[in-house]
Chain A
Amino acid sequence: MSTHHHHAKDFLFTYVFSTDHKMISKQFLITGFLMGFVGLLMSTLFRLQLGWPGESFQMVELLMGSWQENGVMSPDKYLALVTMHGTIMVFFLLTAGLSGTFSNLLIPLQIGARDMASGFLNMLSYWFFFLSSVIMIISLFVEGGSASAGWTIYPPLSALPQAIPGSGAGMTLWLVSMSIFIVSSLLGSLNYIVTIFNLRTKGMTMTRLPLTIWAFLLTAVLGVLSFPVLLSAALLLVFDRSFGTSFYLSDIYIGGQVLEHSGGSPILFEHLFWFLGHPEVYIVLLPALGITSEIISTMSRKPIFGYRAMIGSMMAIGFL
């Protein structure tokens, strides 16, 4: 009995609450993949509807229940699926799944460090990510369905439950989930930056770093600079939704009555959102650029062509 107990504890700290960068990268990989599958399934479902708008898919109703009565998807649930698909693919798969997996696995290995600068923060980063994934999935099952205002969640559509059913509890959970996700992403990025700057092995100067690591470094810097802005945008939206403030709302007539909000502007949200949204493209692109450059140069048995120029252009992309 006691050995069994010991074994269980071992298991817990090796596979679950691990601070080992390789294990954490596998955790990110598996969670990212699962989320990716969910996102893929959603896109298949709503594209079936889009491709054959007149057809009835009785089989799909088995999976979708009341979202797909008589085999035809209801319009607001179509939007809900589009929204969730976008969110999951952009943030959970391409941001956390990609950076979380490869940065965690490769940074310590390729710069000759024993592990990340802070294994504990790394573990926290994964568990925040896991929590936010779970909340995002749960939001599919609340009353009114998940968030349905598009992955850019522009208010007032996302701010007013009377505008679309998904802007009720589903939207609240979306915001909670994204806030936790951003915390996870920040913890991860800080860790990557600190590790790359401080834990390089002897002789590993910045100009000898593999291009992959350069790409991860720039990605992390972009993440640290832009994700907090999305967090603030999300928090202000929470205030607007729950505490009656008017950051994003002004002059609105909906459901037969005029709302009391005035003085805000949805444009503010668009700016805050795209302060993240624009760098996000490069957060997704840069790791892939770094990885492919290195794989191709290794496989063709040649040194990377124009190493410094490549770093320069990645920095330029990051700056843009």
Chain B
Amino acid sequence: MMTIVVIITAILIVTVASQLLKIAELRAKSKGELIYEVSEKAGKTQGTLLLTFLFVLMGFFFWQMYSWYGLRLPDSASIHGESIDFLSDVTYMIITPVFILTHIVLLWFCYKYAYSSKRKALFFSHSNKLEAIWTITPALVLTVLILMGLTSWNQIMTPVPSETDHVLIELTGQQFTWTARYAGEDKKLGRSHVTLIEGVNATGVDAKDENAKDDKLVKGEFHLPVGVPVQFVFRSLDAIHSAYLPHFRAQMNCVPGITTQFNFTPTITTEEMKAKTGNEDFNYVLLCNKICGAAHYNMQMDVVVESQEDYDKWLAEQKTFVE
């Protein structure tokens, strides 16, 4: 009932406002004023309003930058993340001045060149030189940016070569948890398929596969050694999930039916990061970043980065798949 009253009131207010405007228009017409003609005064008012808007906009922009700047992610905790941060910084350094300058020019000119009966607009229909300048400059800037982006993308997406010392982990997403599987001593993940899911074998690992015998399944939190390349393989059992590790600047979709991959090298341990951010409760997290169902918001897993010794000790405590 309340809802209907509110809606009806809103409609009535809009109607009244429009009727009032109409009356004002008719009144001006009956007095013989030329209401559709732009007067010098109206031009000046509009110009002033736009200039005011410029100040409000810029004020808001800098205020927002100031208020939220501290909420950025802490320094990247992986090697490739530094190149991503660099790309992002370069982009911001280019677009922020462009944003500020173009808006100042646009709105200030509206004020400066407001309609005046004393001035006549200059007839200037085109200039190939100007066109060329403002086409080629952004094209060059964008080409450079895209080339930089492509290069770092290719570097990041190249899988770790098998002869390099690395950790192989499979992350499986399902509604609404993550499971990590370590490849174990043979550094090979066993086969797995959804048809093999049964009881405790929640991700469908093939028990008959030799490679699967020493695989270790972990839930709740998983550990990574600092300074060693980590090769991730991603799977999903139901909807599309997206493994998102914001502090390592890493994200990859997990798609049912296929596997995807990503790798990075952690550089800062959890303890070091706690000291760095001054936050005792700091924890690296793995989140889901693709709408995957009702509890999508709560699909996460903690990540602990620690020294090689601590990592080895922790891994030794975990049970292998056959156990």
C-alpha gap A75/B288 in the complex (Å):
15
Contact residues in B for A150 (Cβ distance below 8 Å): 291
Say yes or no: A250-B237 contact (C-beta < 8 A), given A150-B291, A258-B195, A302-B121. Answer: no
Asked if residues B291 and A149 are in contact (CB atoms below 8 Å), the reply is yes
C-alpha gap A306/B131 in the complex (Å):
7
Contact residues in A for B297 (Cβ distance below 8 Å): 75
A 264-291 binary contact with B (CB < 8 Å = 1; else 0): 1111000000000000000000000000
Asked if residues B122 and A302 are in contact (CB atoms below 8 Å), the reply is yes
Asked if residues B295 and A75 are in contact (CB atoms below 8 Å), the reply is yes
C-alpha gap A208/B160 in the complex (Å):
58
- B228: CB under 8 A from chain A? no
B residues 256-271 near A (Cβ < 8 Å) are 256-258
Q: How far is the CB of A258 from chain B (nearest CB, A)?
A: 5
- A170: CB under 8 A from chain B? no
B 237-263 binary contact with A (CB < 8 Å = 1; else 0): 111100000000000000111100000
C-alpha gap A161/B25 in the complex (Å):
56
B 213-251 binary contact with A (CB < 8 Å = 1; else 0): 000000000000000000000000111100000000000
Contact residues in B for A302 (Cβ distance below 8 Å): 121-124
Contact residues in B for A55 (Cβ distance below 8 Å): none
Q: How far is the CB of B290 from chain A (nearest CB, A)?
A: 7
Q: How far is the CB of B225 from chain A (nearest CB, A)?
A: 31
Q: How far is the CB of A198 from chain B (nearest CB, A)?
A: 29
C-alpha gap A251/B293 in the complex (Å):
18
Asked if residues A164 and B294 are in contact (CB atoms below 8 Å), the reply is yes
Asked if residues B204 and A253 are in contact (CB atoms below 8 Å), the reply is yes
Contact residues in A for B194 (Cβ distance below 8 Å): 251-253, 258
Name the contact of A303 in the complex, choosing from B125, B238, B296 (C-beta under 8 A): B125
Contact residues in A for B258 (Cβ distance below 8 Å): 250, 265, 267
Say yes or no: A163-B121 contact (C-beta < 8 A), given A251-B194, A258-B195. Answer: no
- A1: CB under 8 A from chain B? no
A residues 154-179 near B (Cβ < 8 Å) are 154, 156-157, 160, 163-165
- A231: CB under 8 A from chain B? no
- B87: CB under 8 A from chain A? no
Contact residues in A for B151 (Cβ distance below 8 Å): none
Asked if residues A163 and B239 are in contact (CB atoms below 8 Å), the reply is yes
Q: Nearest residue in A to B7 (C-beta to C-beta)?
A: A63
- A89: CB under 8 A from chain B? no
Say yes or no: A157-B125 contact (C-beta < 8 A), given A63-B3, A253-B194, A265-B258. Answer: no
Asked if residues B126 and A253 are in contact (CB atoms below 8 Å), the reply is no
- A295: CB under 8 A from chain B? no
Number of chain A residues whose Cβ lies closer than 8 Å to a Cβ of chain B = 40
- B174: CB under 8 A from chain A? yes
Contact residues in A for B121 (Cβ distance below 8 Å): 300-302
C-alpha gap A148/B3 in the complex (Å):
25
- B314: CB under 8 A from chain A? no
Asked if residues B193 and A251 are in contact (CB atoms below 8 Å), the reply is yes
Q: How far is the CB of B82 from chain A (nearest CB, A)?
A: 30
- B113: CB under 8 A from chain A? yes
Contact residues in B for A264 (Cβ distance below 8 Å): 257
Asked if residues B256 and A251 are in contact (CB atoms below 8 Å), the reply is yes
Contact residues in B for A304 (Cβ distance below 8 Å): 125
C-alpha gap A79/B297 in the complex (Å):
10
A148, A251, A264: which has the most chain B beta carbons within 10 Å?
A251
Asked if residues A265 and B113 are in contact (CB atoms below 8 Å), the reply is no
Q: How far is the CB of B239 from chain A (nearest CB, A)?
A: 4
Q: How far is the CB of A296 from chain B (nearest CB, A)?
A: 10
C-alpha gap A148/B294 in the complex (Å):
9
- B136: CB under 8 A from chain A? no
Asked if residues A79 and B294 are in contact (CB atoms below 8 Å), the reply is yes
Asked if residues A62 and B2 are in contact (CB atoms below 8 Å), the reply is yes
Asked if residues A157 and B126 are in contact (CB atoms below 8 Å), the reply is no
Name the contact of A76 in the complex, choosing from B122, B197, B239, B293 (C-beta under 8 A): B293
Asked if residues B256 and A75 are in contact (CB atoms below 8 Å), the reply is no
- A305: CB under 8 A from chain B? yes
Say yes or no: A300-B123 contact (C-beta < 8 A), given A62-B2, A252-B237. Answer: no
C-alpha gap A107/B123 in the complex (Å):
27
A 235-266 binary contact with B (CB < 8 Å = 1; else 0): 00000000000000111111000100010111
| Interchain residue pairs with CB less than 8 A apart (11) | A62-B2, A157-B239, A164-B294, A251-B194, A251-B256, A254-B175, A254-B238, A258-B194, A267-B258, A302-B122, A303-B123
The 3 nearest A-B residue pairs measured at CB: A250-B257, A76-B294, A157-B239
